[in-house]
Amino acid sequence: MNLTNHLIIAMPGLADPMFQKSVSYICQHTDKGAMGLTINRPIEVSFAELLKQLDIPLINDTLSSRFASTPVYLGGPVETEHGFVLHSSEHPSDSWGQSLKINDDLSLSSSRDILHAIASGEGPDRFLIALGYAGWSEGQIEREMQENSWLNVPADNDILFNTPFDQRWKSAAMKLGIDIHLISGDIGHA
């Protein structure tokens, strides 16, 4: 199964502290491995603070106020100094830099150009900023799925962009009709 454009939901028994109670959006999944962004682990820096650190000016006070409460996420343990923008692609622009088109609705960019576009009010309507990413080697994510480490569900833009980060784990599982808090961490073990 190709998990591109799916959410993977950590099972309660997943003990790895990086992924415990996490939800990751899979941006790309091939026979060589998978790449995704954890979407429910905010870091201590807001998007406005990140822009300031990068010397990218905000065009007005309205955007400054909005972005002061916009979280930046720890996308995963790989390349945590590198930023990624998961964004809607309803009005793609050359000024956004190079983007990987995931599907008709979503793209992924790691270009500073998209940050400049967002700061100037000319960026995508919806976006999620992450530092670092989650990576799985060839066959690894498939093995972890077989070991009952993850549930998966097709991605939902409402969960990605509108659901508060602390409700994403439960909301993603509810898409499957599962109350994740009622699942034992010992499922599948004798």
- For 101-123, the pLDDT digits (tens) are 899 899 999 989 999 999 988 88
Per-residue pLDDT at 141 exceeds 90: yes
pLDDT of residue 90: 74
For 45-106, what is the HEC assignment? Answer: EEHHHHHHHCCCCCCCHHHHHHHHCCEEEECCCEEEEEEEEEEECCCCCHHHCCEEECCCCE
Residue 187 covered by a domain: no
Q: Please report, as a single letter, which amino acid is at residue 31.
A: D
Does some domain include residue 1?
no
What CATH number is attached to the domain comprising 169?
3.40.1740.10
Question: Model's pTM, two decimal places?
Answer: 0.91
Is residue 58 in a domain? yes
Residue 188 lies in a domain: no
CB atoms within 10 A of CB 65: 11
Structure tokens at 153: 């569900």
**How many domains, in total, are found in the chain?**
1
Q: Give the domain range for residue 115.
A: 6-182
In-domain check, residue 101 = yes
114 phi, psi to nearest 5 deg: -70, -35
Classify residue 60: in a domain, yes or no: yes
Phi-psi region of 172 (alpha: psi -120 to 50; beta: other; left: phi over 0): alpha
Assigned domain for 124 exists: yes
pLDDT, tens digit, for every residue of 156-175? 999 999 999 999 999 999 99
